[in-house]
Structure 1
Amino acid sequence: MATAVSARHWYSWVSDYVLEDKFRWAKTPQLKDLIPLETKQGTLSPPGGKWDPRLVIGHNVGFDRSFVKEQYMIQGTELRFLDTMSMHIAICGLTSFQRLLHNASGKDSHRKEIVEHANKQKLNRRPSSDEWKKISSLNNLRDVHQLHCGGEPIEKAIKDVFVKGSMADVREQFQDLMTYCATDVQATREVFLKLWPEFIERFPHPVTLAGMLEMGTAYLPINDAWPRYIQHANSTYEELERELKKLLMALADEACILLQDEEYKNDPWLWDLDWSTSAYRLNKTGKNLDNVTDPFEKGDDNSNKFPSSLVFEEGQEALEEYKRVIRRVYSTASRVPKNPTFMPGYPLWYRELCPRPRDVDFYPGPSNISTQCRVTPKLMRLVWDGYPVHYDEKHGWGYLVPFQEELSPMEIELRSQESDPQDQHRFPLQAFLSFVQNSKPPKNCSLNGNNGEVGSPDAMDLLGRDFDARAMELEEKLPLLEAAKNKKLRRIPEHIGVGPYDVGIPGVRFYKIPHKDGDHNRVGNPLARDYLLRAEDGTLTASPDAHADRALILGRMCSYWKNNQKRIMGQMAVWLNKSELNKNITRHSDYEPEGLYGAIVPRIVTAGTITRRAVEPTWLTASNAY
């Protein structure tokens, strides 16, 4: 449904699908389903055979234009569209940073830009000013009308019926919904009357207005290549996704083998996964064994379950031994549980990647693995700037950097008394150091701590040379132990990053992978879209293993379509019949009667920024495809 108002009349339009129940097997609308603004229903020519110059004013009118019937005719019309939202943005719109501040007002935001702005205000000792909020607003009609016209805010709650409701809900609340549409039209008119004088004063040159009107006529003709492109992109994406899943499953299988002889304990990535296994559990031995079936007894069908007479070269004794073994196996049938243990002998992290046989989408092996799984970066043995990645529950994803702290003999003894020897040897420090030295040799820093920077005096010096730690009671050691635990790191590592953090792993320090929204945020997945550029420049790499390296490449290849598929497939393509096409097309030598011909009307905001640059999320966005 749609409403409009002119200097003399109110107009409304309602689709046939609202008036009566109709059903049609079609994924896209046809020309007859759209709003006829310049032609009568069922016709393609204007009354009198001439297109009259007209102007349609609306808020975000590019969206409304995509539902106008005549805008899909390739010959074009004299109708133009003027966007009050673009006028508002050009006059008193918000910058991208101001929009962030506006949305974050009243919230404890940790976005990088907002935190830096707040710190700069504190550093300069300037109170934050919100005066700009009084002369600007967000771009939606409710806020724009409130800014320029005042009065009661426009009620928008009933709009959810269009989004979440059914066609029956629309029919039931028809009058309220039509009133809502008319209220929006009235508010748009009031906004235009306020903005127009200021717009002409601010931008007196006719090129500004002419450019906005011309940009609002964007038209994209399409043919068979459009659905073929979507189909080819989807099939290629699915093929790459299948290959990626197979590679990740292979990495999981290879890592699972490390359970043998506990080889995973020497892996700098896999050492902290849950390698616990479950044994196969049998029911307790039954007390009544009289009901055990003898497999060699004759059944009701007068046939043996097993041959009663078998000829063995070894003779009758071999046959009897064979029967005894079979009977012993059958006697354990009652011990088999109704719900057997799922994948006994496999580590827990591997079992979590495997669907159960009764699942609808069951596929043998670790088929639930994907790039979103927390275990995947470890299986791929990702490396950030030459250091193995690591996940910490508190800090998120980061990487481990070698570190050796200079401690006094007193501190070494106190820490050794407190720590568990098993925890000290759990992390494969030697394997880690060997990998780092081979992949990223130190420049001016050795790992033995000889050139560390010394901070406060040693505890031994404070207590005197005659101090004997072994003569101290436990109560006397506790304060020194607490001081040693909380003491700042004495040696500053060469590496510069978001850190260091002590995560309880001896010999290393944890650095967070930088987050686009600031260092306060945790990185949830180093394989996300925001880090694909880091894979391009070599900051983020995978193991030299062919599977891992190929998986990282496939992840980059799939990222573009994964992030843009919904937006591209959501384009409203309208296909035209031969009778709806211009005669210049149907008479052309390249015209194919069996081909598809149609158009997409881009929903452009003609002045989407304060610099009056046109904005559209698909066609006017620079592609960062990989």
Structure 2
Amino acid sequence: MLPVARGYLGSRVCPCRPWAVPRAFTFIRAQSTQTTTPSIRRNPLGIQMLPPRLYEGVFPSQRFPEPTPQQIQIAQDHLQRHGLGDKTASTQTAVDFTLPVLQGNTIQEHFYQLGTRFAEPFLSMAKRAVNITLLPIPDQWQLDQPGWVRYPAHGSPTPVTCPLEPTLIFDVEVLFLKSPYPVLACAASEDAWYLWLSPYLTGHSEHDRHLIPLNQAKEPRVIIGHNVGFDRVRVADEYHLQTPDNIFLDTMSLHCSVSGLSNQQRIDWMFYKKHNERKSDPLGPDEDGADDPDTSYATIRKMADLRRLASVGSSNSLKEVAKLHCKLELDKDPRDLFFQGDIHTVRDNLHMLATYCAKDVVATHRVYQKLFPKYLTKCPHPASFVGITEVIGAMLPVTEKWEQYFQHTEAMFQDMLTKIEQKLTDLAENALRESSTAMQDPWLRHLDWTIAPIRMTKPKYRKDGTYAPGGEPRPHARQLLPGKPQWYKSVWDRKTGRIRVTTRTRVTPYLLKLQWQGYPLYYSDTYGWTYRVPHEDTHKIHQKVLDFPADPQDEAYEEYPAEDTSGCYFRIPHQDGETSRCLNPLAKGYITAFEDGILTSEYAAAREALQLSAQCSYWISCRERIRSQLVIWDDCLPEGVSDLGMPSTQHSPGGKRGILLPQVVPMGTITRRAVESTWMTASNAKRNRLGSELKAMVEAPPGYCLVGADVDSEELWISSVIGDSQFRTHGSTALGWMNLQGTKADGTDMHSNTAAIMSISRNNAKIFNYGRIYGAGVKFATQLLLKFNPTMAEEQAVQTARKLYAATKGSQLKCPSELKFPPVTLEPAVVDRTRPTRSAVASPRLDSIWCGGSESFMFNSLEAVALLPHPRTPALGCEISDTLLPKIAKSKYMTSRINWVVQSSGVDYLHLLIVSMKYLVQKYNIQARFMISIHDEIRYLVKSEDRYRAAMALQIANLWTRALFSYRLGMEDLPWSVAFFSSVDIDHVLRKEVDDPCPCRMIHQLRKPDFPTDKGLKPLFSKSALRLLMNYQKGLIDNVNRLTANTEYEDLSLASIARKAAKQPQQASVFNYASQAWNVDFFLSSLQGETKPMSMELQSTINEQYGSLEVFYEEFENHALAIFGSGWTWLVHSDTGGVRILNTYNAGSVLTPERMDNVDKNTASPDVFASQPSQPFYKRNHYINTNIGAIRQDGSATQYDMRYTPLLALNMWEHAYLTDYQLDRSKYIRNFLKCVHWDRVLQRVPQVARQI
């Protein structure tokens, strides 16, 4: 069995509480073998390495030579020069245990064996799909039959439940503007064509909620498509908690990895494409363009480079990919009908559209035949294949909070928008009233106060020259705001019939009278937003003075600044440098300037406008993507989905549950990173960022947990270990040492070092560091500095950035011609058992090397990989895209090539983790499935009973993964500090840290009862009575939301609000509404639509207490009738043992002994309680409250001092019974007892008591 992990904070752990399993595990072997305190192993530089048993379990035999004394001496001298030589390496508490046995003689063979095991049978099926030949597209389609119809080579079309063959080429079409559900789909195999039509399209269904069944036989199936993640979302089989039997292969991803474009290359490629579209190729058939005398040499060189790029790469659309790889010209015009048309348009053109979809299938297969063999050459390791097929299978479970989240966030957004727009509108109206003095105002003078003459109708005269009746001149009817200035007209909204001013309106900074460093703003058509400084103050500004032409004939002439002789103008700084224009000083990038007092205004509305911009920016950017997410709910399953695999939600307090499938592109970039537009770009939750709690809407179903981890400094470690490999020793470079041994407290970690060099915060230093590792240069660092400090002069920013790069990257020196860089990759990525000897990759010759910096060795190593004829990642041996090969890119795109080495290695890291987890999950029968990966973060959905074993499996997977990286770089050892995750998270929601509070405000919603409400609840409530009760509950909840907004209660549940407010007498209103709302909700949740008898287990408990059910019913009715006024009758379980019946008055609840109001003080004393428990049979603190109740004179506890678990509640407020029963409360109580959901009551009895 897999060793179990128990954290030293184990006392905190319970199934319903999130926690982070710390790295400082106590590892307990399955057969109760005790762990040992290992001897400390250190490498020659003092770095603590793996304990003996772990080391032997990962590196069972030594294959590589030890580092030479010369290498160690050079490393020590290098560390000494960077102030690290005299630092004492820390010692961490380590434990030793026996790992699962490697599947091979080395860690490399281990991963090859695992990859091969889990790639099959899918990899063989995918290879066979390359060689199949599709049948001709059918001439006629059967268009009146919903669902799948099979078109074999011979015979008639036949309706089928789903396609029969195990390998399919697949394409789906939807009405993009109407519905996310599919309307038609086409699939092809070697033996047949298939066409699926939605019942909605054929007229057999009135709704569009239909999904496509593909694999009801539950057999291994390979689905191939272009951007197939989009198609997968429409496949019915994928909506299940258990891992489906389908895998999806995406030809768009294959193209990205084989012939994809980097960001800069995409710009160049688009330029070349548009150039060819404007005119014929200027170079003609002659490569150098010498036959065109008007073509400059620079243009010839540029176009030759672009021609070379376009010969091997293209954008990702099927049209361009098919054109590049297969020389196919696709007609995509019919697709417009799916974008612009409706269901009737599609029906009218159905035959043509079905054929169009089939042609896309043919093109996809042709592309696949070209790309898949190339992909296997580029990425030969089977673990890479397993990784991409697993990543595309992301699945997210959600609850009804998903809908509430969107509705509430959108409502808040609209409310905030309306509020700020109203304030800006008021400022505009005030400015209009000040028109007489506007020219003396430094801001309002720049508004266009031009008033167009009022156009009058042509007068009509009598013969005597007087106006004819009705012929007097009058203003034309169709004039926009006659008599109003031009700026006011520019903000007029014809739809609403009023002005509309937003934070993005050009006149807004003038209306707000914004100032930069105390000087008024001015908008220039040439320079964007600027600020005017009097001549006598220009010495205070460390920027270039802007030059405005004085010639009115000049196109760039601007009258006001050109004729201003008393002031100078300076740009509002932009994060992209002094050549970039500030187009909106109210953009979110300027919120820091406002907070620092650089950007100011005399109006409070300016601060609110900036805060709005910052708070709403995330929601504005992602709201449409969030709105478009397709969620399948368990209470409304579409046709094609029979079951989501969810646990029974009948008794779950969370309401309905659903599944959402992210539309993942498994290799969406040139670095093979997975891409998804919503979840993989989701912000971490912050209180001042509207909608940022998106990820927290993903919630594990009952009985499940989310188990996952973030890889600690993944790409930083990859970069540093590549540099360390030159010395065959971990921590041998300054960067490697800081990454392994540096600490924030000592200021010896990489981020603290950068922060000290640049005099910035450590958090800001992280951005500089990762940008530099990805290949960014001084220009990038300069732009970042200007962003963080807008008042800094650009020259100073350049000097500071150069200082950073001199200290880190070092200086570049020309290499002697005889110097070759040492090899980086020492083993072939795929084990070839016929060639047991190592095969070193040819060493590149570098024209120059970096030296003197803390990261020079790392950059030399990365450039050495990037400059190889065929660069490959060190771990899995994946080759770079053809577009970045040196023979194509020449000396260009070096930043992208270095970035590829790091980020593509990060993708290898993820794929290795995935393969390791698949093996450990299978080997130890852990009930878990891959859920999602977001860059360096991986999450699994795990059954609660297996959560600790899954956490342990993740730790072992991480150890194996890092060990392979080290092995592939020639180092058969691993530092202890990076062997395991710093923590593994066990949580019930998806969030960055398990102790992060959910920043979104808890908006309470009216929860529908579990029984149908359209006809009331017989025999208890008529339709009108139930509607009255529901409206009453809605009013309670609305008041709770109103009273708790922007208070300490806003993030709490109803029960938590009631408990907290009960202890604060000044919060009586909050308590009353929250407690009453909880009471009503609990009351409704205790009812069922059909009468069912009480279970024998509950009858036995009650009979033991009351003797018989008849006595219990009588006692319950007597208690309820004893209430004078309004209140509640409860059946509870007491912490002193046994069940009891008691009353609370008004909004009193058994949750809150402080305000339980358990008697009517006018008619009873606190000692009057019925049915005292005779034999307590358990004691459990179900609700933990600190009670401050009374004590009887004899010293015994009163009811105020006891804690209760509520089992059943009866609403004895007048609104509950007057409508149907008038004053006959007895009949109301008896009918209530007929409708009680007794099974749910039994479930509420604490489990300990039930076991006893």
TM-score, length basis structure 1:
0.64
Shift of the alpha carbon at 1:555?
2.6
Partner of 1:317: none
1:518–1:82 Cα change, 3 Å: farther
Residue by residue over 1:384-421, the C-alpha shift from the partner in whole angstroms, topping out at 9 and shown as x without a partner, is 465432223x42622134375xxxxxxxxxxxxxxxxx
Question: 1: distance between equivalents of 2:473 and 2:300?
Answer: 77
Partner of 1:270: 444
Question: 2: distance between equivalents of 1:21 and 1:528?
Answer: 51
1:582–1:139 Cα change, 3 Å: closer
Contact 1:52 1:78 in 2 (8 A): yes
1:164–1:396 Cα change, 3 Å: farther
1:337–1:5 Cα change, 3 Å: closer
Question: 2: distance between equivalents of 1:572 and 1:278?
Answer: 52
Question: 1: distance between equivalents of 2:397 and 2:475?
Answer: 65
Question: 1: distance between equivalents of 2:393 and 2:455?
Answer: 72
1:20 counterpart = 2:203: yes
Shift of the alpha carbon at 1:508?
3.4
Partner of 2:533: 402
Shift of the alpha carbon at 1:559?
2.4
Structure 2: which 5+ runs fail to align? 1-183, 276-295, 463-471, 553-557, 691-1252
Match of 2:661 among 581, 601, 610: 601
Contact 1:282 1:337 in 2 (8 A): yes
Partner of 1:198: 374
1:360–1:70 Cα change, 3 Å: same
Contact 1:70 1:76 in 2 (8 A): no
Q: Indicate the larger mover: 337-346 or 195-204.
A: 337-346
Partner of 1:388: 520
Contact 2:456 2:473 in 1 (8 A): yes
Match of 1:505 among 551, 555, 564: 564
Shift of the alpha carbon at 1:103?
1.6
Contact 1:395 1:512 in 2 (8 A): no
Match of 1:231 among 373, 382, 407: 407
Match of 2:496 among 339, 346, 361: 361
SS of equivalent residue, structure 1 residue 388: strand
Question: 2: distance between equivalents of 1:246 and 1:520?
Answer: 35
Partner of 2:260: 93
Give the alignment of 1:229-378 within 5 angstroms: 229-260=405-436, 262=437, 264-275=438-449, 347-350=485-488, 353=491, 361-362=496-497, 367-378=499-510
1:340–1:218 Cα change, 3 Å: closer
Partner of 1:319: none
Shift of the alpha carbon at 1:348?
4.8
SS of equivalent residue, structure 1 residue 23: coil
1:516–1:133 Cα change, 3 Å: farther
Match of 1:623 among 676, 680, 683: 683
Residue by residue over 1:417-462, the C-alpha shift from the partner in whole angstroms, topping out at 9 and shown as x without a partner, is xxxxxxxxxxxxxxxx7xxx5xx982699xxxxxx9xxxxxxxxxx
Match of 1:216 among 382, 392, 404: 392
Amino acid at match of 1:208: S
Question: 2: distance between equivalents of 1:574 and 1:536?
Answer: 44
Partner of 1:554: 612
Contact 1:135 1:147 in 2 (8 A): yes
Question: 1: distance between equivalents of 2:453 and 2:190?
Answer: 82
SS of equivalent residue, structure 2 residue 331: coil
Residue by residue over 1:330-349, the C-alpha shift from the partner in whole angstroms, topping out at 9 and shown as x without a partner, is xxxx9998969987886553
Partner of 1:135: 312
Question: 1: distance between equivalents of 2:244 and 2:533?
Answer: 69
1:182–1:536 Cα change, 3 Å: farther
**Percent identity among equivalent residues?**
33
1:138–1:341 Cα change, 3 Å: closer
Partner of 1:544: 602
Shift of the alpha carbon at 1:197?
1.8
Question: 1: distance between equivalents of 2:598 and 2:631?
Answer: 39
Question: 1: distance between equivalents of 2:332 and 2:189?
Answer: 23
1:205–1:173 Cα change, 3 Å: same
Question: 2: distance between equivalents of 1:608 and 1:222?
Answer: 25
1:186–1:125 Cα change, 3 Å: closer
SS of equivalent residue, structure 2 residue 254: helix
Structure 1: which 5+ runs fail to align? 40-45, 109-121, 288-333, 405-432, 446-451, 453-482, 487-498
1:520–1:161 Cα change, 3 Å: farther
Partner of 1:411: none
Partner of 1:54: 221
Contact 1:503 1:510 in 2 (8 A): no
Amino acid at match of 2:214: L
Partner of 2:1158: none
Shift of the alpha carbon at 1:503?
4.0
Question: 1: distance between equivalents of 2:517 and 2:597?
Answer: 5
Shift of the alpha carbon at 1:281?
11
Residue by residue over 1:292-312, the C-alpha shift from the partner in whole angstroms, topping out at 9 and shown as x without a partner, is xxxxxxxxxxxxxxxxxxxxx
1:82 counterpart = 2:249: yes
Question: 2: distance between equivalents of 1:170 and 1:588?
Answer: 41
Partner of 1:610: 670
Question: 2: distance between equivalents of 1:231 and 1:506?
Answer: 55
Question: 2: distance between equivalents of 1:83 and 1:340?
Answer: 57
Question: 2: distance between equivalents of 1:80 and 1:132?
Answer: 32
Amino acid at match of 1:623: S
Match of 1:11 among 183, 194, 199: 194
Q: Indicate the larger mover: 346-355 or 244-253.
A: 346-355
Question: 1: distance between equivalents of 2:193 and 2:204?
Answer: 27
Amino acid at match of 1:398: W
Amino acid at match of 2:447: L
SS of equivalent residue, structure 2 residue 434: helix
1:237–1:441 Cα change, 3 Å: farther
Match of 1:573 among 623, 631, 651: 631
SS of equivalent residue, structure 1 residue 3: strand
Contact 1:400 1:508 in 2 (8 A): no
Contact 1:380 1:542 in 2 (8 A): no
Matched residue count: 462
Shift of the alpha carbon at 1:575?
2.0
Contact 1:4 1:10 in 2 (8 A): yes
Amino acid at match of 2:187: A
Match of 1:72 among 239, 244, 249: 239
1:564 counterpart = 2:696: no
Contact 2:587 2:610 in 1 (8 A): no
Residue by residue over 1:550-580, the C-alpha shift from the partner in whole angstroms, topping out at 9 and shown as x without a partner, is 2222232222222221111111222233784
Residue by residue over 1:72-101, the C-alpha shift from the partner in whole angstroms, topping out at 9 and shown as x without a partner, is 122231111111111111112100110111
- How well do the aligned residues superpose, as a CA RMSD in angstroms? 4.3
Question: 2: distance between equivalents of 1:444 and 1:532?
Answer: 19
Partner of 1:117: none
1:617–1:504 Cα change, 3 Å: farther
Question: 1: distance between equivalents of 2:542 and 2:662?
Answer: 57
Question: 1: distance between equivalents of 2:592 and 2:379?
Answer: 43
Amino acid at match of 1:192: Y
Contact 1:397 1:526 in 2 (8 A): no
Shift of the alpha carbon at 1:22?
4.8
Give the alignment of 1:91-130 within 5 angstroms: 91-105=258-272, 127-128=301-302, 129-130=305-306
Contact 1:138 1:144 in 2 (8 A): yes
Contact 2:503 2:609 in 1 (8 A): no
